[in-house]
Structure 1
Amino acid sequence: MNQYVLYFSETDKSSLALVGGKGANLGELCHIPGVNVPTGFCITTQAYTDFVNRSEEFARLLEALRDIEAEALETIKEAGRRIRTYLENLDIPSPISQEIIQAWQKTGSQHAYAVRSSATAEDLPGASFAGQQDTYLNIKGENELLVHVRKCWASLFTDRAITYRAKNGFDHRKVLLSVVVQQMVFPEVSGIMFTADPVTGNRKVISIDAAFGLGEALVSGLVNADLYKVRAERIVKRQIAVKKLAIYPLAGGGTEERDIPSQEQSKQALPDEAILALAQVGRRIEEHFGRPQDIEWGYTDGRIYVVQSRPITTLYPLPELPDATSGVYVSFGHVQMMTDPIKPLGMSIWAKTMATIDSQYSIVPAGGHLYFDITDTLASWLGRKTAPALYSKSDVLLSSAIAEVIRRRDFIATLKPRKRAAGTKSYMRKSMGTMAGGMYEMLFREKLEAPDVTAISSQILSELQSELSRRSGRDRLEFLANHFGKVFMVFMDTIGKPVFVAWLASLLIGRLARRWLGESSVLDELTKSAPGNVSTEMGLELGDLADVIRPYPAALEYMKGADDATFLDGLERVEGGAAIRPAFTAFLAKYGMRCPGEIDITRPRWREKPTQLVPSIISHIQSTEPGEHRLKFAQGRVEAEQAAQTLLLRLQRKLGGSFKARLMGKLVRTYREFIGLREYPKYLMVSLLDEYKRVIMEEAARLVERGTVDRAEDVFYLTLEELTAAVATGRADRDKITALKEKYAKYEKLKPPRVLTSEGEAIVGSYAQRDLPEGALAGAPVSAGVVEGRARVVTKLEEAVLEKGDILVAPFTDPGWTPLFVSASGLVTEIGGLMTHGAVVAREYGLPAVVGVENATKLIKDGQKIRVNGTDGYVEIL
């Protein structure tokens, strides 16, 4: 085998280190029956290595790239220019140039060639690197070939390639370059084919872009392309573009742009029979590689040529399912207001819990996130009627996305109920009786009794701690595996009725107010400062803590740079520490189990990382006066009582006013008394998770002592079952843990779709058409009022500092974000609905709020002045 050259027929996926991603894929394509690949060869990475390592100068230039940040564009530009200039003027060693020329002569020196880069980190499943290095077309003759091979090598250091590697964490020294030399095909039509729809993610749809001439015009964006979509061997879409120019080869080498005659510009570039034949080729290639592909192709004289294929790296992963039946999946994170990835330990706990609570709603992983399988629901007539409304209170766009799936009758017809074991539980079915009983009691009983949730929770936690203290090792973990779902159902049996009654009362208040008074926003005033909301109480108590800290600037300065492990002890050494430490300790004793993203057991709790609270404390001190938070809450309660009285007086003046006022009065009292309870299930849930985590970390510490894992946090990448086995055997799969860490680094960059289908399609959802100001961002109104202020875009709570008048703009808010609400003047989130945490707390604080604003944290820049219209549901950038 030659040292510097390999022909396509000699390469395959095992040749990646020698010929890069593009070269390896071309070798694979050559081995697929019925796929025509223009012949050629690869100049190996060994040739590149021997070329660049001829002097110490290149090593010095390469070393200068090591610490360059992706944002340092001017530095990158200058460093890249120096390296490219050096390489383009460096002689190719004779042994390398001789092998290249011999291969060129053997392949056919009379032909024109495409000279393309093929990096070892290119066209991989996790990173495409497409377009980062250069391609040269219609290269003729020995001298031009060598010149453009050298240009290809140098293009490893284009500005865009350096930036891409820096941004994605690739070591510049470890990415090598092969050069693909491929006979040119001069197509009548060329383009790109995706074997899964790149926009929707649908794996059943093939998407084809086609234009006249060489594909370079399409790839470089010089021309609009026809768009064809094929599904099940049928063309389901033809979008014919006006194609004003094309790129064609020149006789002496190189290419030129030519205008297309006006009568040809709107002609369909590729005939129907060729579209269907191309789609078949695409499916053949996809089947060979085992995943959707992005394919470059050309068509001439009735023949299809494939010049490249690479994995599509932008598709959201499909749910991991045991079979290939049709299904619909709803994002657990959008329901729970936390769309960050959940590590395997957290996933396994939730999967086990859901199986215990309600086997009709199984939960499946996809791309580091969890999804409810709602196939059974949508397979039934009743489920299709109720599902959009059921999810609308969690997230408006989620509800819309489900409704969109339901409208696709052909797909819905393929849904079949999942086969489940006899005797499986259905919490939803059981809760129907609870709801019916709650409705009867609210309407016909004089007064409903509120359960003592504090006492119930304390008893549950005390019993759990007692059980855990009596167990150890594997026995403790097996106990945990079955505890969460069971005890949570017991708690929900107690609290489910009043929570449902509060929700029902809110619906009836809104509907009756619209019918009797022509208004829909009365609930906003009635929600203010509702009693018994444990999340609101937490925010108030954090305000009390901030007021204790306020007089001691040295203590606050210490907190900004404190270490979590010694945080409380270090307070003793600063002025005011003796007064602050007991207050901080008491706060952590009550709320230390909370944190942002608290539904994931692996997230650091406030008790583990108390510095997470420091930005909220700073925000509170900067934006409020001492005691102001308590005064505002008390004022909100007064305003709610006045609003209730005004509402009842207005109703008494209407026809049948006595009955209307009496009914509304009962609904308002019921709502005010019970609405705060809706935060308690999550409070208990998080308290339980924290107790589980204490036990798990004790067992993890023992695994570290035994040498089973390197760090205690490594157990986050094990399922609860795998952790239990590791505790029992002293063995864990370290390679799997390492691989999962790498996967989760990629999952962090994924945006989970609200709804996924088994075909891979991501359904986004949309708002109904309405008149909005020009340029306004649409959302769902959840807390009335209009406010203007500076946008404070916060994606990580621990980095948030708000000043007076700032408007909080966040991807989502769960109870861990509550401390910021005291400082904010308004709220904008990307996820949410009328009854989610952020909406309820915003109404309690009287903050105008708009939720479900898609990509709000990207479209709104930190520091911009914005107007939030919480009455009509939109945001304006001023």
Structure 2
Amino acid sequence: MDTYVLDFHRIDKSSLPLVGGKGANLGEMTQAGFPVPPGFCVTTEAYRVFLSGSEQMGDYFRQLEDIQAEQLERIAVLGSAIREHLNQVPIPVDIKDAILGSWMRSGQEAAYAVRSSATAEDLPTASFAGQQDTYLNVRGEEQLMQAIRRCWASLFTDRAISYRAKNHFDHRAVHLSVVVQQMVFPEVSGIMFTADPISGHRGTVSIDASFGLGEALVSGLVSADLYQVRAGTLIDKKIARKKLAIYSLPEGGTVTRDLPEDEQERQALADPQIMELATLGNTIKGHYGSDQDIEWCLAQGRFYIVQSRPITSLYPLAEVHTEPGDCPHVLLSFGHQQMMTDAMKPMGLSNLRTMLPAGKPSVRSESTLTAAAGGRMFVDITKLFALKPARKLFPRLLSGIDEMMGSGVGEFIQREEFIRHIPFQPGLKKDVLGFMGPIVLKAIWKLLFASPNKALPYVESYIQTAIAQRRSDLDGLTGPERVMRIQEQIGTLLRRMFQDLMPYPMSGLMSSRLIKNLLQRWIGDDEALHVLNKSLIGNVTSEMGLMIGDLADQARPYPQVIELIRRGSGHTQQFREQLRGVEGGREFGEAWDRFMTLYGMRCPGEIDITRPRWREDPSTLLPSIDSHMRSVQPGEHRAKFAQGADDAEHAARELLERLRRQPLGWFKAKLMGRLIRVFRVQMGLREHPKYMMMQQFGLIREGLREEGRLLAEKGVLPREEDVFFLTLDELLKLSEGSVPDGLEPLLEARKQDLERFRKLTPPRVMTSEGEIITGKRRQQDAPAGALLGTPVSAGVVEGIARVVLRPEEAKLNKGEIMIAPFTDPGWTPLFHSAVGLVMEVGGLMTHGAVVAREYGLPAVVGIDGATGLIRDGDRIRLDGTRGYVLVLERSGER
């Protein structure tokens, strides 16, 4: 029957519900004329009819619904029971007849490969490859029917059940087809990727090749030759020692044989064959419109394709504008620079892309020098390197943000293919000098001549005035007028911040560098700088952390307030209402309101404007207050901060006294005294520009939410919060009354994309060709087995590691070391509770490093995968001076 069996030539991509991803691909390639060995598919309808013959599968499916991916023992027991049961269920006669009819037409004497093909397999967003079983060199009616039955049962292997549970696929909704394909008996076989699966480079065809059947390669039994082809040129060739191969047996089945010594290092494919295969791979890629993972074989001088599926492991490409003959564009992850690498909703990305002042046809436009990829924003810095000085200075500057980022960019821009094709940028030098020149001159003036004491009052007054003006500009506006005003405010924000506020922290950075260099020259070391970093004057983020401690102290005498804090609440209004009914609630509520007035617009991941602020949702803040109460004594946070300021003042006095005793000591002491005063004040202002940005983000977020509410009331948007799945330009069009067809499906697709993007790890640096540039870490003095990172705050501490993936889940106890993916100002409340800090991203001048130095916490950053490599509860040694973490004792081994 046609519903039970379909030959390849009757199958295309629309057949996926009937024949699964693998079967649909083989039919699609057959119809496209690619060299695919002939065969047929036993459809999912046959599988469903087969299952319907079981009275027990309904109960088995109910048990599968409750399975968690990590319940391996339970999965093993249940999977074994299901497979054993299915091996006893009879195959209906009409299905068997349909299978045997196609088999006879295809050729009874031929050998076949019998493979499973699931309906959720080989999709653009998920690959089920390897989850079900494959049977090779199947001959005769009995072997064929047995292999098909085993394929049906293999939908319930342990790995298949676990994979579906992990990726939230409904076990009932995944159906199985079986591919029955004539075997070719290859001299050579392997796998071809039309993009480099390691670096991500989209223009590189990567081919693995070994002798015999490809199963030896897929199963890891043999090393394969590696060939790489780019732009029609064989650019790399690594010949492996191939000790064995798998071959077919005449009677059916396969055998593994050792290769003769003289065959083991022979090149599996000749160079012309490599080029032929690469060309075929690119043709298949062009047909599908996406990069492919292709299984191939060579038999009697002819290539055959036995499978092609999308490569799902590649990080998405960033779409940037390139001209013919351009060099590959180099793109920086904005999230790594801002210490927030989570995926963002479209409105969060649109807000940031509008904020960048360069590459904009108008103030309200998104910058053409930005691109979204995988839910993250990347900045195209290619044009900058048309200036030769930037090729040396910019990587060094980036290293202060993230060592691996700076190293990666520095390595990439030295490549000949990059330098030779950098596009000429007339007027770039003038534009850069015109923008940066006045800022640098102002910073130098403040470094050498301006009164440091006037800096903090001026900056605070400037921010208050600016935010009051921005609020006034938005008052009374609604609809298109409000959206356009929001775009204007965002579009001018960064330029104003740089021009008006950045000279203050920039002079602090200059003084820091000068102090470091002069200390090394005059006294032989710069250790005093670590102490001078403590308790900087006027740091708005540090003061926020101290106020968290004040809130904790305010709550301590009142058990009912503590209980409310530990229970948490979804909305600030609910929390405030609950406080009114408990002892001490009024006093704590007044302190809470003062805090929210100053900092309620902040939150973890605050550069993403779509994230709820503390004033809306206190759930990410209350655990920090709880951790503080459990790990810090009353008043200890203020006392430690005051002690840090005393230590810094004492260190400054001692340093100046040492300098006075040197030749020209009066001059050295006077110059150093000036630099220290500037450093202590101006570096303390480093967080004020971000604070001002978040004040404005708070205003803009309120406006966006209100527009979302109005559109939801009109029935334009399904829900108020759907406004965050639009861009600013899309919101403007909706507010003007232009509603596109298919808006709801578009919003739903974007929500699904976000869930997929959240599982991706964004690269620090990537190119327009998809290549991920990793960089190299400098040589470090560290014990064997240590995890290496960048030292950013000196000191050594040992303690229990507490892995914190999200602040709302933090439960730090006294003496614990916080292990985090990143930290931005929204994480600062946790710093008082920790004795050390480890982060996966960051550098010397990023937020977490600066605050750690100010609090005197040893810190190491830039350890990729630290939150997985270090387990919660491990005992570790953190060396913030040499830059490593050593696991001393695993949790559970004590």
C-alpha displacement of 1:356: 6.2
| CA distance in 1 between partners of 2:298 and 2:856 (Å) | 63
1:518 paired to 2:524: yes
| 1:716 alignment partner, one of 709, 716, 724 | 724
1:346 paired to 2:348: yes
Secondary structure at 1:193 match in 2:
strand
Q: 1:426 to 1:13 in 2, by over 3 A?
A: farther
Q: Which moved more, 1:376-385 or 1:811-820?
A: 376-385
Q: Which amino acid aligns with 1:473?
A: G
1:120 paired to 2:122: no
Q: 1:448 to 1:638 in 2, by over 3 A?
A: closer
Partner of 1:647: 655
Partner of 1:432: 437
Partner of 1:554: 560
C-alpha displacement of 1:271: 1.8
C-alpha displacement of 1:415: 3.0
| CA distance in 2 between partners of 1:197 and 1:765 (Å) | 17
| CA distance in 1 between partners of 2:357 and 2:329 (Å) | 18
C-alpha displacement of 1:237: 1.8
Secondary structure at 1:564 match in 2:
coil
Secondary structure at 1:782 match in 2:
strand
Q: 1:131 to 1:357 in 2, by over 3 A?
A: closer
Contact 2:386/2:425 (8 A) holds in 1: no
Secondary structure at 1:676 match in 2:
helix
Q: Which moved more, 1:508-517 or 1:555-564?
A: 555-564
C-alpha displacement of 1:358: 7.4
| CA distance in 1 between partners of 2:13 and 2:370 (Å) | 35
Partner of 1:618: 626
Q: Which amino acid aligns with 1:508?
A: L
| 2:415 alignment partner, one of 402, 408, 428 | 408
Partner of 2:403: 396
Matching of residues 40-119 of structure 1 within 5 Å: 40-119=39-118
C-alpha displacement of 1:418: 7.2
Q: 1:43 to 1:864 in 2, by over 3 A?
A: same
Contact 1:361/1:372 (8 A) holds in 2: no
Q: 1:361 to 1:472 in 2, by over 3 A?
A: closer
User: What are the Cα deviations for residues 119-153 of structure 1, in whole angstroms up to 9, with x where unaligned?
Assistant: 01001110011100000000000111011101001
Partner of 2:765: 755
| 2:471 alignment partner, one of 461, 465, 473 | 465
Secondary structure at 1:173 match in 2:
coil
Q: Which amino acid aligns with 2:371?
A: V
Partner of 2:384: 377
| CA distance in 2 between partners of 1:196 and 1:107 (Å) | 35
Q: 1:864 to 1:358 in 2, by over 3 A?
A: farther
Contact 2:852/2:859 (8 A) holds in 1: yes
| CA distance in 1 between partners of 2:293 and 2:529 (Å) | 52
Contact 1:559/1:611 (8 A) holds in 2: no
Secondary structure at 2:833 match in 1:
coil
Secondary structure at 2:676 match in 1:
helix
Contact 1:703/1:730 (8 A) holds in 2: no
Q: 1:823 to 1:195 in 2, by over 3 A?
A: same
C-alpha displacement of 1:492: 3.1
Contact 2:54/2:89 (8 A) holds in 1: no
Q: 1:492 to 1:235 in 2, by over 3 A?
A: closer
User: What are the Cα deviations for residues 48-104 of structure 1, in whole angstroms up to 9, with x where unaligned?
Assistant: 111111233112212210121111111111111111111111111111111111111
Matching of residues 237-276 of structure 1 within 5 Å: 237-276=236-275
Contact 1:397/1:766 (8 A) holds in 2: yes
Please give the root-mean-square deviation of Cα atoms over the aligned residues, in Å.
1.9
Secondary structure at 1:248 match in 2:
strand
Partner of 2:335: 333
Q: 1:876 to 1:484 in 2, by over 3 A?
A: same
Secondary structure at 1:316 match in 2:
coil
Matching of residues 150-549 of structure 1 within 5 Å: 150-323=149-322, 325=326, 326-355=328-357, 362-416=369-423, 429-443=434-448, 449-450=454-455, 452-549=458-555
| CA distance in 1 between partners of 2:784 and 2:493 (Å) | 51
| CA distance in 1 between partners of 2:343 and 2:477 (Å) | 31
Q: Which moved more, 1:833-842 or 1:346-355?
A: 346-355
Q: 1:329 to 1:293 in 2, by over 3 A?
A: same
| CA distance in 2 between partners of 1:331 and 1:663 (Å) | 39
| CA distance in 2 between partners of 1:443 and 1:614 (Å) | 43
Contact 1:375/1:417 (8 A) holds in 2: no
TM-score, length basis structure 2: 0.95
Contact 1:356/1:425 (8 A) holds in 2: no
Partner of 2:775: 765
Q: 1:541 to 1:350 in 2, by over 3 A?
A: same
Alignment size in residue pairs: 875
C-alpha displacement of 1:586: 1.6
C-alpha displacement of 1:322: 4.4
| CA distance in 2 between partners of 1:356 and 1:759 (Å) | 23
Partner of 2:892: none
Secondary structure at 1:813 match in 2:
coil
Q: Which moved more, 1:779-788 or 1:736-745?
A: 779-788
| CA distance in 2 between partners of 1:397 and 1:614 (Å) | 34
Partner of 2:6: 6
User: What are the Cα deviations for residues 492-540 of structure 1, in whole angstroms up to 9, with x where unaligned?
Assistant: 3222222211011111111222222222333211010011100000000
Q: Which moved more, 1:584-593 or 1:723-732?
A: 723-732
C-alpha displacement of 1:269: 1.8
C-alpha displacement of 1:262: 2.2
Q: 1:654 to 1:681 in 2, by over 3 A?
A: same
Query: Sequence identity, in percent?
Result: 51
Q: Which amino acid aligns with 1:338?
A: M
Secondary structure at 1:247 match in 2:
strand
| CA distance in 2 between partners of 1:43 and 1:418 (Å) | 60
C-alpha displacement of 1:728: 2.5
| CA distance in 2 between partners of 1:390 and 1:173 (Å) | 54
User: What are the Cα deviations for residues 245-303 of structure 1, in whole angstroms up to 9, with x where unaligned?
Assistant: 11111121111111112232222222222111111111111111111110101112221
